[in-house]
Amino acid sequence: MPSNASTNSGLPPAGDGDVSGQEKQKMLLSAETGHFSMVRALHLADLVTELNVMSVLSSMRYCLGDPHDYGAIWSALGFMPFGLFFDFMDGKIARWRKKSSLMGQELDSLADLISFGMAPAAAAFALGVRTNVDHLLLAFFVLCGLTRLARFNVTVAVLPKDKTGKSKYFEGTPIPTTLSIASLMAYWVSQGWVQEDLPLGVIAQGTAFEFHPVALLFVLHGCLMVSKSIHIPKP
């Protein structure tokens, strides 16, 4: 399962039984009959992957509510670490059951993009990082996460492997490391540093180029994710 934590792609090379399982999944997904054929095609690890996605809507809900009521934003930030837990567990379960999943390969990258790309950006927007330039900077961060995941999916087959068949290192920082920014935002919320009280204030206020310097954290993290020279050993 292509991801940036423990994933199904870390499984040893598939045996005949696993190939047979993948063919069965293909048949179920392409079947023209059966309303629930897609549900039957999912493996347990795939269902765990889907639990990864939990926090974006809560961030957006905060945008529409009272800016001094932090309940929704606390939920959004609090659910993000659970995304990391489920991202780790789907690979563990896949290796335990010795089953890789074609569906899981797609689900994992999509879930990671939402949980560790869209969710932190949405939370930052909810906290007040929302000028026109802020929007571009946050979009850059999300696109870096998207590009990083796409590159991983393409290169995972050619990266050096250990004896279990798992890649030895990540190229660029794994996308779940964006939780460091989520932790920082949680601290801001605890201190009441939101909306007009965001740390470092606003640069070029009142102009078309006004932005919050804290948005540059997302730009920096995006650049680290897509770096090819940074190699981080896999645990």
Per-residue pLDDT tens, the chain, 235 aa: give them.
444 444 444 444 444 445 455 565 555 555 555 555 555 555 665 666 666 666 777 877 887 878 778 888 998 898 888 878 877 776 666 666 666 666 667 777 888 898 899 999 999 999 999 999 999 999 999 999 999 988 887 777 676 666 655 666 778 898 999 999 999 999 999 999 999 999 999 999 999 999 999 999 999 999 999 998 888 777 6
Tokens 């961030």 correspond to: 59
pLDDT of residue 90: 63
Contact 80, 115 (CB under 8 A): yes
Which domains are delineated in the chain?
35-158+170-226 (1.20.120)
Enclosing H/E stretch for 170? strand 169-171
Contact 168, 161 (CB under 8 A): yes
The span from the CA of 50 to the CA of 47, in Å, is 5
The span from the CA of 138 to the CA of 219, in Å, is 7
- 3-state helix vs strand vs coil in the chain, percent to 5: 65, 5, 35
pLDDT of residue 165: 59
The span from the CA of 152 to the CA of 2, in Å, is 7
pLDDT of residue 42: 57
User: Which amino acid, 169?
Assistant: Y
- To the nearest 10 degrees (0 to 180), the angle between helices 119-127 and 132-155 is 170
pLDDT of residue 21: 54
pLDDT of residue 67: 79
Q: Any idea what the Cα angle at residue 154 is, between residues 173 and 57, rounded to 5°?
A: 60
pLDDT of residue 167: 66
